[in-house]
Amino acid sequence: MENILGLIKLRIKRGTNLKVCDTRTCDPYVFVTMAEQKLKTGVVKDSINPEWNEELTLYTVSDKDTFSVDDSMGDAEIDLKPYLQCVKMDLSDLPDSHVVKRVQPDRTNCLAEESSCIWKNGKLIQEMSLRLRNVKSGEITVEIEWVNLPDSKGLSEVEF
């Protein structure tokens, strides 16, 4: 996927049942990598069920330790292809909450449950619960949204 002219808004909503790293709790944050970009949410102190509600542009979740190297709390990947295929349809004027595509959890993605690409407030979004890998428990809920840049052709010429 090269020459994509737009942005992916990534809303990191919350974590559920995250790994306990410090005695009884942890100080989680989400670290996002996308191509060369690296972004991080704020740290939520003393919580295994944190609420971030932060918008970034999900990959590794870690625990913020004050005096030692951060503990890994698992990781997850987002498969953007199903969502970007819907964006490429260049949809408009659909009824609010219209489901454009359903994505099932399988061995090739980190989905904890079915995820849908839906039309919401004039935009195509996909909310998903991602099951963390390399850890006993934990999920992260995120939402993605495509934003066209001014004077761009969007995804019309992009191959998947």
Domain that holds residue 73: 6-89+127-146
Higher pLDDT, 8 or 124: 124
Q: How would you classify residue 60: left for phi > 0, otherwise alpha for psi between -120 and 50, otherwise beta?
A: beta
Nearest CA-CA partner of 126 in 64, 78, 61, 68: 78
Residue 110 maps to a domain: no
Residue 121 has pLDDT above 70, yes or no: yes
Residue 108 maps to a domain: no
Are 84 and 78 a contacting pair, CB within 8 Å?
no
Residue 100 maps to a domain: no
Residue 39 maps to a domain: yes
What's the rounded Cα separation, in Å, for the pair 23 and 83?
39
What's the rounded Cα separation, in Å, for the pair 118 and 143?
11
What is the rounded average pLDDT of the residues 87-109? Answer: 92
CATH number, domain containing residue 64? 2.60.40.150
Say what the pTM is.
Answer: 0.81
Residue 46 maps to a domain: yes
Residue 7 has pLDDT above 70, yes or no: yes
Residue 98 maps to a domain: no
What is the rounded average pLDDT of the residues 110-121? Answer: 95
- Structural domains of the chain, count: 1
Residue 36 maps to a domain: yes
SS3 101: strand
Are 160 and 84 a contacting pair, CB within 8 Å?
yes
Mean pLDDT, the chain, integer: 83
Residue 153 maps to a domain: no
pLDDT tens figures, 44-77 = 999 999 999 999 863 454 455 555 567 788 899 8
| Secondary element (H or E) of residue 104 | none
Residues 6+ positions from 66 with CB-CB distance below 8 Å: none
Higher pLDDT, 122 or 147: 122
